Structure 1
């Protein structure tokens, strides 16, 4: 066990060495320790390397050790510092929001490939969470109007903080259960990163995921419950020729393509993420 005594004048080097011992069971121990110490000291991470002999105050050392104690339990670093980078954005995240994943940037890239640079499309992001997908697209396509929905008011409050911080007036947030309340509104593109983890999957109860909101992860018995609701409902809200894009689990591509085809979508296909896993499936309304 690391020495827990509070020493006046502990340096950056000493605090990081101690934290890495405490977090040795985590692959990201060094990175985690650096991010947390930089947060506590109010400096950029590079500053830790530039000034390893910088002395932390006793309150700062106490705060840092408290954060390391939480991280030992695999409590997510993103929640501890309240931020997560995504696309070109620095997003606020809270325990009420799913932490944006790097693989989710694939659906943003796929959407931007379809949206002409100056297009004034109407776009719908279902289950927006922190607003990651909607805000990333809106920042790249300012002429578009992006509607972002979520059923959880706490989640929407965080998305609003991120919308305001990004100065993105072309994003409109609404508390909606998937596509209910949209009437006959038609969109040029609908996309979603819905819950898609099966209820019995051990991943829901282990590691960092165990600390994230179950509502944003649990997709029912086979993980496809929300996707089954979205696919037929979205069809009637798409303009002719418009596309539905869905993120899903690495083994769910074939099932999602079959659901798209069964609902009348044209030429369903699946895109792979950087790890080679099937990650985003899409189809067009004919």
Structure 2
């Protein structure tokens, strides 16, 4: 029996990924993962016949992808801030829009000579790793309630040599009493409990605790905002990611908590994705 060539299997995979919004990209990523090769090799060897065992594995992964399993979970890999991160179903898949949060923290961090930064709900460690890379002189504490998530974050911190990041098991601010930070940031859960978007196949494979926060999606944000002033230095900043349509609500929550200079930053899709405010001096 004649073996399929790499190009033919890529074409089949792309056509078969009927539930994917980016079938060509997904097929390419799955083939790279199974063959353990890079883009250049795949381009140069598209006429190479593929081993039947590799073909069978790719076909199986295509089936999993069609059932809604994110590519990041199938390959245990996700790019964020040009860093390759280890991920699995214990953590939320890092999204490109969260880089807006990183940019906002970096912009505010310039105000401090040696910033101390607290990240709440670190998950895979994506945000902390990005900040560590850009501000190696910062002292960063990254917390999560999930021990499974912290185990993934530990792998990623080690992979990227983030010696200035300390991981800590905590439910938001628990265990941090008496400590003060120049910056507090978080990408907390912000989806409403009955939001129809939760029916999306991919979201059903991600940890619900990292997605859902009460009836209107703002329970975690309210708690973080209400408690954060006690953990910020005067003049320190709180930076929060939220849904594309929550900016006005989050700004109102921050204003009511007596934060100043409250405003929002847009993501690459021109949505108000991150809101921030400063504790008065």
TM-score band, normalised by the shorter chain?
over 0.9
Distance 1:252 1:279 in 2: 8
Structure 2: give runs of 5+ residues left out of the alignment. none
SS in 2 for 1:207: coil
Structure 1: give runs of 5+ residues left out of the alignment. 1-6
Contact 1:41–1:56 (CA<8 Å) still a contact in 2? no
Contact 1:119–1:141 (CA<8 Å) still a contact in 2? no
- Number of the residue aligned with 2:251: 257
Distance 2:126 2:33 in 1: 22
Distance 1:249 1:213 in 2: 17
How far residue 8 of structure 1 moved from its aligned partner, in angstroms, is: 5.8
1:67-216 aligned within 5 A = 67-116=61-110, 119-216=113-210
1:10-89 aligned within 5 A = 10-89=4-83
How far residue 26 of structure 1 moved from its aligned partner, in angstroms, is: 2.5
Deviations 1:82-131 (A, max 9, x none): 01000131111110000000000001111111223993211000000101
Task: Label 1:8 to 1:60 Cα distance change in 2 as closer, same or farther (>3 A).
Answer: farther
Contact 1:91–1:162 (CA<8 Å) still a contact in 2? yes
Q: Which deviates more from structure 2 when the two are superposed, residues 33-42 or residues 115-124?
A: 115-124
Task: Label 1:271 to 1:118 Cα distance change in 2 as closer, same or farther (>3 A).
Answer: closer
How far residue 206 of structure 1 moved from its aligned partner, in angstroms, is: 1.2
Task: Label 1:246 to 1:117 Cα distance change in 2 as closer, same or farther (>3 A).
Answer: closer
Distance 1:53 1:178 in 2: 52
1:277 maps to which of 266, 271, 279:
271
TM-score by length of 1: 0.95
How many residue pairs are counted as aligned between the two chains?
280
Contact 1:35–1:45 (CA<8 Å) still a contact in 2? no
How far residue 44 of structure 1 moved from its aligned partner, in angstroms, is: 0.8
Contact 2:238–2:277 (CA<8 Å) still a contact in 1? yes
How far residue 46 of structure 1 moved from its aligned partner, in angstroms, is: 3.1
Following TM superposition, where does structure 1 have runs of at least 4 consecutive aligned residues deviating by more than 4 angstroms? none
Contact 2:19–2:68 (CA<8 Å) still a contact in 1? no
Distance 2:45 2:152 in 1: 34
The answer to whether 1:241 aligns with 2:235 is: yes
